[in-house]
Structure 1
């Protein structure tokens, strides 16, 4: 993902539904107002905290994360209905569309800080994060899906379920390898092929997941970030030929795709046509909207999808509250749920939890102090820790499988001890 990893997307990773808008959840306050004590704090006034988002709502390939914005608006809307954060409502401006383009990502970051005067960016969901250094230097707290290296290490940038692409000295989330291991009845003598896009996220995804699957006892027979990131191939034969011969001339037991939905559809369709009967898995295709089209449903049938949150099928009270919040934000309509909504929702949720702990005197410095001491338990992504979020993942997740036109939980939500990444 993404959950995970829509780009690891997952690394990772990884779908388009309800129309999201860029309107604010509440009317905006004057920018640059004074905080208690007289010191000017960007994005903080006596009665509001201004927050924006950056989301890949449109892309050249048609892939969209626009429902990330809906998820964030749903969480902020409930927070405001409950009295806001320490007496301040959240003035959510909506998300800037970066088009999955590095230049637009940087432009969006500059606009939010220099023109909109936001206190925080939550959510940030894209396969590119060229604006990361600028936001870090501007002391802007950022929350999103930690599938990019920028979510691992910087002081002001947080993954809503932790850092998913760590640098040496960090840890690797083992939910995916352990889930595949359970489905296959063990890892001894089993091989996996890992394929990703030729992008920074794809390269990190192959690197981290390759080590994670190896640590779980699998033989990683193939691991390449070779698929173009900007366009879906029309011919998959070169990729499938390599994969189907990667295990000593034979097919691997599992194919792990760290790509987005359009590429997964093409890859999985080609593998099935080539006679592959092993396990197919990715971190991105948990989206009931995908079931509406027969060709898509057929391509993804049997695929096990990694989630880094409680499945929508869960009876957990927090999931029921999430569903109610999404419905309210969608104007009372029952809309198909997807992992992008959860990404926006939980990014906003972690920001709100830390901001609440920071107290009435909200500044970038007080926010950071609160984050360093923050922890809670039993959320839709498991147990959370502010200090941990910038170094390692929260280590929890599940697998769901698309079967006969519906998703079923194949490996229940659980937490696994991460392994060192060095």
Structure 2
């Protein structure tokens, strides 16, 4: 993996709190430090679907015959999102992942009698004005049928996309933090970046913690879990989700506080007091829902105090092993992947198809780039939904197929993860994978496959 990609992964991880910790979402209420295990039930996908429907209600079918972007048997689509920010890559491969998957569909003869004209991808540079301009340009000038992908860090186009009836596939933007208010938005990661997906509920995904239990052989009752977070909605959501997941597994959640500054607030000059609180809790597993610099600061302080338990450092970032200082901090620390897709370290053979599809369009983008997987997944979801449409395609038919409560997205083994819709608009998929940093070998060691594991923990929020 090249250094440009490594820097991009580090920057991307710093920007998006929701995927730094194990994949989790929940209420925006902050946690407290004296939670006791609730022994809550771990729900499977069908049970979680029922819970979501009970809280949010069904999504009414939409009516109309919107055929913008359809000429005969050819459907025009395009994508937009935050491929770069401040001149630096944020989501490597975001501009080509969808095209690679779409062009393979064309080579295979199309889907449901239709082929595709992929007009390209517009980078919004993570700015609100450029995001809206890109969306409007694709819809009005290029007349796209759908946005594939739509992954705008500063996106605020939900009202416009609703008015124009544009099915949109992707993640990241707050425009996906919706249910029936905009039925055309289809996230590939649920609402992992949303502060309050289920009002009054904390939602956790147990897979990443389950993979830790399975790999270490520890009994859940012997795990004393501490979760630390920052003073912002996404971090609080992640903290509550992790606490709920730990409690559902039978762990003793001994600490759950969001008492660290957010990414936009002045940072602490010394993280030792936080580390002391974590150690004093008696925790033997410590997980954070903070941005990378804060996570590293806490982990460094823990090692300075001689903490001997286990820790998670969020998503795997090989660049951390290139610096002796950061390598020493993350040595022996676990990292997990979840809702945003797999990585070749966990599924090298499965990524060969992604690489072949990139080669076919002449792209040198990394198959393992999180942007590549984002676009590829968005396109695959769109194509599977299109295949389920009966009769001539309209925007309304595609939308209703995904929202009628029975649609099953079949994941690409090792790359993307299966999910049901419309619950997939709220809850992330259940796939997880576990890795561990080895400073001496300068490697991230894959401990498990990227596969479906665990279930959902949905409890009343505190």
Question: Map of 1:290-329 to 2, 5 A cutoff?
Answer: 291=321, 295-308=325-338, 309-314=341-346, 318-329=350-361
Aligned twin of 1:23: none
Shift of 1:126: 4.9
| C-alpha deviation, 1:367, in angstroms | 0.4
Unmatched runs of 5 consecutive residues or more in structure 2:
1-8, 25-64
**1:270-324 deviation line (CA, Å, top 9, x unaligned):** 4434544432324433x55655555554444333222124442345864331233
Query: Relative CO higher for 1 or 2, CA cutoff 8 Å, sep ≥ 6?
Result: 2
How many residue pairs get matched?
391
Specify which of 445, 448, 453 is matched with residue 408 of structure 1.
445
Using the alignment, how far apart are the partners of 1:236 and 1:277 within structure 2? 24
Contact 2:321 2:442 (8 Å CA) reproduced: yes
Deviation, 1:383, is: 2.8
Indicate whether 1:216 and 2:249 are aligned. Answer: yes
Equivalent position of 1:96 in the other structure: 123
Uncovered stretches (5+) of structure 1, i.e. residues with no partner: 15-38
- Describe the SS at the equivalent of 2:69: coil
Q: Does 1:420 align with 2:458?
A: yes
**Match 2:114 to one of 70, 87, 90:** 87
- Following superposition of structure 1 onto structure 2, how do residues 107-118 of structure 1 map, counting pairs within 5 Å? 107-118=133-144
Query: Which residue does the alignment assign to 1:393?
Result: 428
In structure 2, distance between residues paired with 1:126 and 1:263:
24
Equivalent-residue separation in structure 2 for 1:135 and 1:329 (angstroms): 29
Counterparts of 1:17-166 in structure 2 under 5 Å? 41-59=67-85, 64-85=90-111, 86-99=113-126, 101-102=127-128, 104-145=130-171, 150-151=176-177, 153-154=179-180, 155-164=183-192, 166=197
Question: Is 1:383 aligned to 2:409, yes or no?
Answer: no
* Alpha-carbon distance between aligned partners in 1 of 2:156 and 2:315, rounded to the nearest angstrom: 22
Note if contact 1:289-1:336 (Cα within 8 Å) is conserved in structure 2. no
Q: Secondary structure of the equivalent of 1:188? A: helix
SS at match of 1:153: coil
Q: CA deviation at 1:354?
A: 0.9
- 2:354–2:367: 8 Å Cα contact kept in structure 1? no
> C-alpha root-mean-square deviation of aligned residues, in Å?
3.8
* Equivalent in the alignment of 1:179: 211
Residue 455 of structure 2: SS of its match in structure 1? coil
Cα pair distance change 1:410/1:262, threshold 3 Å: same
Residue 9 of structure 1 corresponds to: 19
Distance 1:161 1:210 in 2: 20
Q: How far apart in 1 are the matches of 2:318 and 2:169? A: 25
Superposed CA deviations along residues 180-206 of structure 1, whole A, max 9, x for unmatched, are: 333551332533333445444333222
Indicate conservation of the 8 Å contact 2:188/2:428, yes or no.
Answer: no
Give the whole-Å Cα distance in 1 for the aligned partners of 2:96 and 2:298.
Answer: 30
The separation in 2 between residues aligned to 1:198 and 1:92, in whole angstroms, is 41
Q: CA deviation at 1:179?
A: 2.6
